[in-house]
Amino acid sequence: MEVCYQLPVLPLDRPVPKHVLSRRGAISFSSSSSLFGAPDPRQLSQRRGAISYDSSDQTALYIRMLGDVRVRSQVGFEPERRSSHQYLCIDFRTLHARLGCGTAEGGSAPERRVHRLLSFQRYLHSSRLLRGLPQQIPLHILDEDYTGQARCMLEKVGNWNFDIFLFNKLTNGNSLINLTFHLLNQYGLIELFQLDMVKLWRFLVMVQEDYHNDNPYHNAVHAADVTQAMYCFLQEPMLSKSLTSCDILLGLLAAATHDLDHPGVNQPFLIKTNHYLATLYRNTSVLENHHWKSAVGLLRETGLFSHLPPEDSRNMEADLGSLILATDISRQNDYLSRFRRHLDQDDLCLSNASHRHFVLQMALKCADICNPCRPWELSKQWSEKVTEEFFQQGDIEKKHKLEISPVCDRASNTVGNIQIGFMTYVAEPLFVEWARFSDTRLSQTMLGHMGLNKASWGSLQQEQSSAGEETGPGAANVDDTAARRDGTGHVATGGNGSKEIPQGSRGC
Decide if 218 is catalytic.
yes
Q: Is-contact 212 497, C-beta < 8 A? A: no
List CB contacts of 108: < 8 A, sequence separation 6 or more.
Answer: none
Backbone region of residue 264 per phi and psi (left: phi > 0; alpha: psi in -120 to 50; beta: other values)? left
Identify each DSSP E strand in 116-204 by its residue range: none
Q: Per-residue b/e over 105-121, b at no fewer than 16 CB within 10 Å?
A: eeeeeeeeeebbbbbbb
| SS3 category, 448 | helix
Contact (Cβ atoms closer than 8 angstroms) between residue 215 and residue 344: no
User: Measured in whole angstroms, how far is the alpha carbon of residue 313 from the centre of its chain?
Assistant: 23
DSSP 117: G
User: Annotation-wise, does 259 bind a ligand?
Assistant: yes
Spatial neighbors of 214 by CB under 8 A, at least 6 apart, are 96, 97, 264
221 is in an annotated binding site: yes
Q: Is 419 within any annotated ligand binding site?
A: yes
Find the catalytic residue in 212, 218, 291, 342: 218
Residue 462 counted as an annotated binding residue:
no
Distance CA 222, CA 419 (A): 17
Secondary structure letter of residue 216 according to DSSP: S
Distance CA 291, CA 258 (A): 6
Contact 378, 165 (CB under 8 A): yes
Amino acid occupying residue 311 = E
On whether the CB atoms of residues 405 and 496 are closer than 8 A, the answer is: yes
- The span from the CA of 396 to the CA of 113, in Å, is 19
- 355 has binding-site annotation: no
Q: How far apart, in whole angstroms, are the C-alpha atoms of residue 109 and residue 115?
A: 11
**Cα angle at 90 between 173 and 404, to 5 degrees?**
85
Residue type, position 455, single letter: A
- In total, the chain counts a number of residues equal to 508
279 CB burial (10 A radius; 0-12, 13-18, 19+): middle
Tell me if 426 is assigned to a ligand binding site. Answer: no
Q: Is 212 labeled as ligand-binding? A: no
Catalytic residues: 218
Cite the annotated binding site for AMP by residue number. 218-222, 259, 368, 419
Cite the annotated binding site by residue number. 218-222, 258-259, 368, 419
Cite the annotated binding site for Zn(2+) by residue number. 222, 258-259, 368
